[in-house]
Structure 1
């Protein structure tokens, strides 16, 4: 489970970096730039959820000892 979490975080980071290069900063809310911004936000949400999953697994492991 730990390897899956780290791989998923790495993939989310790669998607964030890719989408940052797709944003047209002179007009970020039109066309493909808005889709790239949605992808960036989704990547950050995925990372947040995966970190919460890791923390909850640590809490479960500590309480079951």
Structure 2
């Protein structure tokens, strides 16, 4: 499970980097930049959810004595 979540975190980080390249810093709230901001926010949320999931699995393993 750790490898799976690590791969998903890496993919989400890659999407963040890709969306940063799509940003137009001259007009950040027009056109494709808005879509890029949404993509960055969604990828950031995915990273947070995956890290919370990984922490919860560690807690579960400690409480069940595996």
Task: Report the TM-score range of the alignment, normalised by the length of the smaller protein.
Answer: over 0.9
Partner of 2:17: helix, strand, or coil? helix
Q: Where does 1:1-65 land on structure 2 (aligned, <5 Å)? A: 1-65=1-65
The structural deviation recorded for 1:26 is 1.1
Length-normalised TM-score, structure 1: 0.97
Aligned residues: CA RMSD: 0.5
Task: Structure 2: state its 5+ residue gaps.
Answer: none
Length-normalised TM-score, structure 2: 0.96
The 4+ residue runs of structure 1 with deviation greater than 6 A are none
Partner of 2:24: helix, strand, or coil? coil
Task: Structure 1: state its 5+ residue gaps.
Answer: none
